[in-house]
Every structure is written in C-alpha cells, then in structure tokens.
Chains A and B, each alone.
Chain A
Amino acid sequence: MTTPLRRRVLIGVVVVWVVFLVGAPIIALTVGAFSSGFGAVLEALSATDSVSALAFSLALATIAVAVNTVFGTIAAWVLTRDRFRGRTILLASVDIPFAISPVVVGLCFILLFGPHGWFGPWLKAAGIQIVFSWPAMALATVFVSLPFVVREVSLALVEAGTDEEDAARTLGASSLAVFWRITLPNIRAGLLNGVLLTSARALGEFGAVLVVSGGIAELAETGTLFVFRALDDRRDVAAYAMALALAAITMAILGALFVVRRRAAHSPVRTREVLR
C-alpha cells in the first residue's frame, strides 16, 4: 500500500486536485483585485458605500451571533440535558437550515412578512416594515447561521458530562451558580467555535438576504449584495475589492477557529479545576 511510487502518485493527485479547485481561484481573486493597483483597492474599500455595506454586514452578523448564542446555548442545554416528548423532532429541526437553499429561506420570510404574506396586513396596519428592510435581512441571517452554536455547544455539553454539575449541586450550589461556575467554563471552547462559525456564515450570506432585500440598493446593502450590484454595474474594481475583503475577514475567522480548536485539543482535562 505504501510503495514510494504509489505514495507519490496519490499525494500528487490530492495536491493537484485541492490546489486547482481551491487554491487557484483564491489566487485568481487576489491577482484580479490588485491588477489595478493596491491603491485602487484601498480607494474602492474606503468609498462611503463600501464602508456602509461592510458595517451593515457586521451589524447583521452581530445580531445573528447574539440571538443564536443566547438561544442556541439554551437549546443545546435542553436538547442534551433534558428528556421530553418531541425532543428528537427538535433535534432534527436544528439541522434544517444547513439543508435549505438560501433562496428558499428568503422566500419563506417573504411569505410570512411580505405585503401578501401571513402577517403582511397586520404588519401594515401596525406600520411595521420587515420585508425589504433590515429586520427581514437580520431574520434571514439568524436562520442560515442557526445550527452552529447549538451543534458545537451540544457536543461540548455531552463531552463535559454531568458529574461535575451533579457534584456542585450536591454541595448545595444553585442552578444558576452551577451554570456560571461549572457548565459555562466547560463549554467555553465549544461556544467560541460556534460563535466564530456563526459570524463567518452570517458575513457570507447572500441568497437569503438578496431575496428579502428586494433590491433596495444602498439603503440596506450588505457586503455580498454590494459585490453583486457592483458586478452588475460593471464596477469591477469595487466588486473585486469587496469580495477580497469579505474573503479575508471570513478566512481570518476560520484561522481563529483553528487556534481555538488546537488549544482545546491540547488543554488538559478540565475536571481538576472544580476540585480546587
């Protein structure tokens, strides 16, 4: 199985495959963005509409992280520590956002909150605008990035077990104290994993946000929508620069994720901390 020639061929096939499929496109984007000079990229990124688009993307990602961290942690706790009827259905539903097309996600929210949607007339009467405005974009972003915190925290909770929590409770700690002093430190790495994945996914979301934004350019434009519109307007440098910026930010988040994972893998078992 490991003759030198076979080894070389197999490694060669994998290297060529991965480098051509992933490496080459990334290099092409970098070269394309900088083909009109470093200054042009900086200039394009510091234009008012680019800055506001990036800021809006960050704001949506912040909302998604906040909502999904709070509710995702609760959901993870309930799904791993509690037993009740309907638990398996809830457990399966957590993965649904991974399997649904972003376009369909956008469509769903239009069908709920659009002018002819289920809550449309009611919202109109109350004077609340959700679709074609930022609330729907925030909802869509929360939806597509929902599974990460639940999944990562669930895994961390299962791994941590209940022994320490039980011990603390036996010694008279309240539920809240158990959560803050035992559970939360135990799931810290998992939670951080989830938050990083959520923010990367939220920053990169395009299809769902495009559908619910209804093309209200500039008023509420995310980074990805900016790229799409700039390509349409043949503002290539602006599109490439923003695409590069988005890719760089999300890759940096992924890099941070690796650091967290490596540290978690090397850190000694945390059970001792409780016994101090």
Chain B
Amino acid sequence: MTRSNATALVTPSRRRSLSSRGRIFLRVVTAGYLGVLIALPLLALLATAFEKGVSGAILAIVSPEARAALWLTLWTGGLVAILSAILGTLTAWVLVRYRFPGRAVISALVDLPLAVPTLVTGLMLILLLGPTTPLGDWLNAHGLRIIFAKPAIILALLFVTLPLVVRTVEPVLREIDPAEEESAATLGASPLTIFRRVLFPALWPAIAVGTLQTFARALGEFGSVVIISGNLPRRTMTAPVHIFGAIESGEPHAAAAVSVVLVAVSVALFVFAEHRLRARPT
C-alpha cells in the first residue's frame, strides 16, 4: 500500500469529502439564502431610515410620540425581563428539583406560549380580564384597570416570554448535583446563601441569556399588545405599534428610523446572548 493510500484511509482528504466546487456552491447558496432574506431587508431599512440624513432620523426618533413609545417599550420590557428572570429561575428550579402531582402539566404549560399565536394571546387576555368578563368586572369595580392599560402590556409580555428563562436555565440546573445544595444546607446555609454561593455562580450565564432574550423579544412584541393595550399615543402605545401607525399613515422614513433603534438594541442583545454567553458547540 502506498503512503498516500494509507493517509486516505485514516483521514479522508477534503477533496474527496466533497469537491471544492461543490463546497463553494453550497457556501454561495447559504450566503444567498441568508443574504437575500435577512441582510437585504435590513439594508433597505437602514438606508430608508437615513435617507433624509442623520438629522431626519433623529427628528423622527425624538418626536414626542416616538419618544414616549420607545420609553414605554423599554421600561415594560425591562420590568418583564427582571420578573421573568426571578420567576423563571424559580420555576426551572422547582421543575428540576421537585416531583409533584401535575408537574408534567406545569411543564407543558410553560412551553405553550411558544405555540400560541401572539394575536390569540391578546384575545385570550381580553376574554379573561376584559370589561365584559366577570373577572374584569370585579377588577373594574375595585378600580383596577388592566385591559387597555399598561398592566395588560406587561401581562402579555410575561405570557409570550415565559419559556425563555425557564428553558435556558433548566438544562444547566439539571447538570448541577443536588448534593451540593444539600450539603450547603446541612452546614447551615440559608436558602438565599445557597442560591448566591452554590447555584448562581453556575447558573448566571444561563439566567443572563434567558433574561436578555426575554428583553429582546419583549421589545418587538406586537400581536398580543396591539389588541389589548388600547394604543393611546404617548400613554399606552408601544414602539412596534407606533411603527405600525407610521407605516399606515404613509411615513416610511419615520417608521424606519424608530425601527432601527429597536432592531439595533434587540439584535445586539440577542446575538450577544446567543453567541457570547451561551456556550454553543459549533
């Protein structure tokens, strides 16, 4: 057997695995697929936003309506991300560490928001808490306005982002031996200390990924919010709804400018979380 044949047996040469022409063809197909579908639309968005110059874009962003909408979207998103981080981590911990009747049901419910169309989510919340329902009636009588007000936005965002923190923290938590927590407890550590000293050091990247993705996802939410927030300019109108309004009233430049702000923040956070924080086997 010649030497070259022996090497071919141990490590198939690249040329044999796929002709270099085939490789380049597949690379071009991939670049074309992602380029046409993702890069090109974003390029058009960026170009339109700055078509009337940087000052034009800034003017559209700092208009009172746009500013109020962006601010509302940022703070509701931030609040939802924090709530989701706390309750999501707790949910993941309970689902991993405890066995209790109905655990499978709770676990399935956590995944449901992945499936339910967001517009349907909004409709569900109206049917649960809207003015014509018993619960909504009772809340109204007690001066609590949820639907067509800011709490509805927060509730809808909590619903659609529920799986994100739970499902990123869960697999990491499963890798941690419960014995570590138990021995810390035996040594007299309080639950808070155990979380801070035993769990948090291992869990924080997963919690951060889930929280950042929750925030990024919340910034863009439209379907559920548009039918339950009331959409009052400067009061309950979120940034995506504001963008929708600008498109409908024939102001693509203003819509694009506000979009660029949203896209820049959420894409940067999402990609950072996915490719820097989450250790991915690629």
Contacts and interface: CB of A to CB of B under 8 A. Distances in A.
B37 A143 contact: yes
Interface stretch (A38-46, A76-84, A186-194, A263-271): A76-84
Given A11-B100, A104-B263, A251 B115 contact: yes
Contacts of A195: none
A53 to B, nearest CB: 13
Given A71-B33, A99-B266, A117-B44, A22 B109 contact: yes
A110 B99 CA distance: 51
A6 interface: yes
Contacts of B11: 166
Interface in A1-42: 1-2, 6-7, 10-11, 13-15, 17-19, 21-26, 28-29, 31-32
A250 B116 contact: yes
Interface string B115-137: 11111110111011000010000
Given A21-B162, A91-B275, A108 B42 contact: yes
Interface residues of B, number: 98
A122 interface: no
A81 to B, nearest CB: 9
B232 interface: no
A166 to B, nearest CB: 5
B27 interface: yes
A107 B27 contact: no
Tell me if B's interface is mostly helix, strand, loop or mixed: helix
B33 A231 contact: no
B267 A96 contact: yes
A128 interface: no
Contacts of B184: 1
Contacts, number: 281
B282 A91 contact: yes
Given A111-B45, A246-B120, A247-B116, A254 B27 contact: no
A79 B120 contact: no
B249 interface: no
Given A29-B123, A91-B282, A104-B243, A169 B133 contact: no
Interface string A209-247: 011000000000001100110010000000110010011
A93 B158 CA distance: 26
Interface string B85-117: 001001101110110101000101111111111
Contact of B117 (A98, A142, A224): A224
Interface in B27-62: 27, 29-31, 33-34, 37-42, 44-45, 48
Given A112-B44, A175-B22, A243 B120 contact: yes
Tell me if A's interface is mostly helix, strand, loop or mixed: helix
Given A28-B127, A95-B270, A207-B240, A11 B112 contact: no
A97 interface: yes
B37 A32 contact: no
B81 interface: no
Given A17-B87, A102-B220, A142-B37, A71 B244 contact: no
Report, as a range, how many residues of chain A touch the other chain: 35 or more
B173 interface: no
A78 B270 contact: no
Contacts of A48: none
A109 B240 contact: no
Interface string A62-86: 0000000001101101111010101
Given A100-B220, A101-B221, A108-B41, A14 B91 contact: yes
A200 interface: yes
Contact of B247 (A29, A106, A206, A228): A106
A105 B282 CA distance: 28
9 contacts: A11-B94, A18-B106, A21-B155, A25-B124, A93-B38, A96-B271, A101-B240, A224-B120, A251-B116
Closest 10 CB pairs of A and B: A204-B117, A101-B220, A108-B41, A25-B124, A99-B270, A28-B128, A207-B222, A32-B127, A254-B115, A206-B223
Interface of B: 8-9, 11-12, 16-19, 22-23, 26-27, 29-31, 33-34, 37-42, 44-45, 48, 87, 90-91, 93-95, 97-98, 100, 102, 106, 108-121, 123-125, 127-128, 133, 155, 158-159, 162, 181-182, 184-185, 191, 194, 213, 216-217, 219-223, 226-227, 239-241, 243-244, 247, 252, 255-256, 259, 262-263, 266-267, 269-271, 274-275, 281-282
Interface of A: 1-2, 6-7, 10-11, 13-15, 17-19, 21-26, 28-29, 31-32, 71-72, 74-75, 77-80, 82, 84, 86, 88, 90-112, 114, 116-118, 139, 142-143, 146, 154-155, 158, 165-166, 169-170, 175, 197, 200, 203-207, 210-211, 223-224, 227-228, 231, 239-240, 243, 246-247, 250-251, 253-254, 258
